[in-house]
Amino acid sequence: MDELVIRGGMILDGTGSEPVRADLAVREGRIAAITPHHSGPARRVVDARGLMVAPGFIDIKTHSDFTLPYAPRAESKILQGVTTEVVGHCGFSLAPVVPGRARLLQEYLAGFAPWIETRETTFAEYLDGFPATAVNTIMQVGHNTLRLMTVGMDDRAPTADEMAVMQRLLAEGLAAGARGLSSGLFTAPGSFARADELHALLGTVRRHGGAYATHLRSEAEGIFEAVREAIDASETSGVDVQIVHMKLSGLDNRGRAGQLLEEIEAARRRGVRVSCDAYPYTCAANPLRNLLPLWVQEGGLAAMLGRLRDPAVRRRVNREIDERGLTSFGRIASWDAVSISTSRTRSGDAGRRIAELARDAGAEPIDLVCDLLEADAGATFVVVCSIDEADVQALLRSPAVLVGSDGRSVSPDSVAGQGRPHPRFYGTFPRVLGHYARDLGLLSLPEAVHKMTGAPARILGLADRGLLREGYRADATTFDPATIIDRATYDDPHRYPAGIGTVLVNGVVVADAGQHTGALPGRVLRRGPGGIA
Ligand SMILES: [Zn+2]
C-alpha cells in the first residue's frame, strides 16, 4: 500500500516544464508513481487541489551547519519548502579539527555564531556524528578551517609541510563524502592564500571528483578581478566552480550586474563549468569585524582587539574606510547602511543602525564600532545594505544564477535564532516565487522552481533528488501559487512565509498544512561514485 498520496495538484517536476495535473504516490521514502488518477489504497491522502507540487527546494548556499545541531527541526527552511541544504560554505566548516586547535576555530567562528562549541574531530567522524535533522545536508570542507588547522591566522604562505597537511585533511573529507572545497577569500585567513595554494588544493579536489564553491575575494571594488580568479581556478584545475551569494556591493558597482554576467556567460560558452547563486535581497550580513581593513584581524582575535584599542589605529581604520570603502562591501553613503543583527552585549540594540547609535552616544561611528567589537569579543554580527535592486533582479533573471539563501536554519526560540537575523533565513524561496516570479513577472514559475530544484540538483550531481520522477527520493513541497510570499522583514525577521502546504523529506511529512510536525527524517548526503546520495 502507498503510504501517502498527494492528490489533485499540479506537478511542477523541476525541469522547467509547465505544470501538469497528476497525483503523486509515495512508498518507502520514494516517489512510487506520478499518475493522472491514483487508484488503490493509501494510508494518507493529501488534497492538493489548487496547489503546485514541486520537488523539495534545494538551498545550495547556507551556513546551517552552525545552527542545525542547536535547531534540528530547521523551521525557517522547512516552512519555506526547503528539503536539502548545502553547508560548509565560504571557507567555514566545523571539521576537520586537529588536536589543540578546537579553541582557535571556536573563537574564529564566534563572529558568526557565538553559541558554537567546537571539538577535535575528523571529517568522517563529524559526518557520522551529525545529529538527526529535518532537512538533508550536503557538507563541504572549508579552506579557512584548513588554514586555521595548519597556518593559523598568520598572513603568510603555508610551508611545504603545512600544505601537505591541508591536502591530507581535504582528501580525508572528500573520501568521507564531502561535496568539495569551499573558500572564503574575502576574509582572513583565506584572504592570505595565493593562487598556487588554491591550485594545489583544487588538484586534490579534482582527484576525488569534488567541486569548488567560492566566496569571492571581493564583492565590491575588486569584483571583476575576483570573478576572473574564480573562473581561472576552474579552468586551470578542471573543477566545477560555484560563485556563492553573487552580488555587487557598494555605491561604485551599482548597475553593473549585466556586465558581470556577461563575463560569466562568456566563460560558460567556452566550456568552463561555472555557476552562481544569489539571494533576493539588497542587504547582506556578516561579522562586523569583516567590514574593517583585513590587516586588522592578522594574528587572531586578541591581536585585533588590542590593535583596536589604540586611537591612532582607529583613525587609520576610519581613513581607509573613507578612502576605499568597507572591506567586502565597498563604499557606503554612511554608517546608516550598517545595523546590528546580533550582539552579545547590546542585544537590545538589534536592528538599530551604527550611525544612529553613534549619534545617540555622542560618539564617532568608528569608535562605536571598535567599542562594540571589544565588548562582544569580536562576535558582533551586522546587516549591511549596499546592493542595488536592479542588480538583484538582473542576477535572478540569469539562467546562470541559482537561488541560495545564504541563510541558516533557525527558529525564533532556538539559541541559534537570537537577535535579528537577515530575513533571507525565513523568506528567500517564497520571495522568489511570490514577489519576483508572480508579482513582478521577472521569471516564470516553472523557471523559478527549476532554479531551486532541477538546476541545483544537476550542478551538485544529486543521484535521485531535485526532480519529481518515479523512483526518486520523495522530497517534495506543495505551495499555493496565488498566496505564496515571504513575510520576514529586517525589522521583524522571525516570520514564516505564507503559502507552503505539505513538505516531505525522504517521504516523511515534515510540514503538514504549513505546520512543522517535529519529524527529523533528514540525512547527511555523501558524494560517491554515483553522485551525491
Ligand atoms: Zn560567504
Angstrom distance (rounded) from CA 217 to CA 526: 28
- Distance (angstroms) between ligand 1 centre and the Cα of 215 equals 5
Quick count: other Cβ atoms within 10 Å of Cβ 492?
A: 12
- Distance (angstroms) between ligand 1 centre and the Cα of 144 equals 12
- Distance (angstroms) between ligand 1 centre and the Cα of 283 equals 13
Q: What is the pLDDT of residue 491?
A: 83
Angstrom distance (rounded) from CA 448 to CA 425: 18
Report CA-CA distances (Å) from 315 to 1, 320, 330, 365.
72, 9, 18, 11
Residue 438 corresponds to which amino acid? R
- Distance (angstroms) between ligand 1 centre and the Cα of 30 equals 33
- Distance (angstroms) between ligand 1 centre and the Cα of 247 equals 11
- Distance (angstroms) between ligand 1 centre and the Cα of 266 equals 24
- Distance (angstroms) between ligand 1 centre and the Cα of 184 equals 6
- Distance (angstroms) between ligand 1 centre and the Cα of 28 equals 37
Q: What is the pLDDT of residue 5?
A: 98
- Distance (angstroms) between ligand 1 centre and the Cα of 213 equals 10
Q: What is the sign of the dihedral through the CA atoms of 395, 397, 401 and 403?
A: positive
- Distance (angstroms) between ligand 1 centre and the Cα of 181 equals 13
Residue 182 corresponds to which amino acid? S
- Distance (angstroms) between ligand 1 centre and the Cα of 92 equals 9
Q: What is the pLDDT of residue 111?
A: 81
For residues 52 and 12, is the Cβ–Cβ distance under 8 A?
A: yes
- Distance (angstroms) between ligand 1 centre and the Cα of 475 equals 27
pLDDT in tens, the chain (533 residues): 889 999 999 999 999 999 999 999 999 999 999 999 999 899 999 999 999 999 999 999 999 999 999 999 999 999 999 999 999 999 999 999 999 999 999 999 998 898 999 999 999 999 999 999 999 999 999 999 999 999 999 999 999 999 999 999 999 999 999 999 999 999 999 999 999 999 999 999 999 999 999 999 999 989 999 999 999 999 999 999 999 999 999 999 999 999 999 999 999 999 999 999 999 999 998 899 999 998 999 888 999 999 999 999 999 999 999 999 999 899 999 999 999 988 989 989 999 999 999 999 999 999 999 999 999 999 999 999 999 999 999 999 999 999 999 999 999 988 888 778 899 999 999 999 999 999 999 999 999 999 999 999 999 999 999 999 999 999 999 999 999 999 999 889 999 999 999 999 999 999 999 999 999 999 999 999 999 99
- Distance (angstroms) between ligand 1 centre and the Cα of 503 equals 28
Spell out the SS3 assignment of 135-162.
CEEECCEEHHHHHHHHCCCCCCCCCHHH
Report CA-CA distances (Å) from 262 to 266, 305, 402.
6, 42, 16
Angstrom distance (rounded) from CA 162 to CA 167: 9
Long-range contacts from 432-439, C-beta under 8 angstroms, 24+ separation: 432/280, 432/396, 432/403, 433/479, 433/481, 433/484, 433/499, 434/483, 434/484, 434/485, 434/486, 434/497, 434/499, 435/280, 435/485, 435/486, 436/280, 436/393, 436/396, 438/481, 438/482, 438/484
- Distance (angstroms) between ligand 1 centre and the Cα of 85 equals 15
- Distance (angstroms) between ligand 1 centre and the Cα of 47 equals 40
CA proximity to 139, closest of 197, 217, 86 = 86
- Distance (angstroms) between ligand 1 centre and the Cα of 476 equals 27
Classify 487 as helix, strand or coil.
Answer: coil
- Distance (angstroms) between ligand 1 centre and the Cα of 463 equals 26
Greatest Cα-to-Cα distance within the chain, rounded to the nearest angstrom: 78
How far from chain centre, in Å, is Cα 476?
20
Q: What is the pLDDT of residue 48?
A: 98
- Distance (angstroms) between ligand 1 centre and the Cα of 426 equals 18
Give, for 372, the enclosing helix (H) or strand (E): helix 365-375
DSSP code at position 70: T
- Distance (angstroms) between ligand 1 centre and the Cα of 122 equals 23
- Distance (angstroms) between ligand 1 centre and the Cα of 439 equals 29
Q: What is the sign of the dihedral through the CA atoms of 402, 5, 409 and 354?
A: positive
Give, for 322, the enclosing helix (H) or strand (E): helix 311-324
Please name the residues in contact with 86: beta carbons below 8 A apart, sequence gap of 6 or more.
58, 59, 60, 61, 62, 137, 138, 140, 179, 213, 404, 460
Residue 443 half-sphere exposure toward CB, CA atoms < 13 A: 25
Quick count: other Cβ atoms within 10 Å of Cβ 86?
A: 31
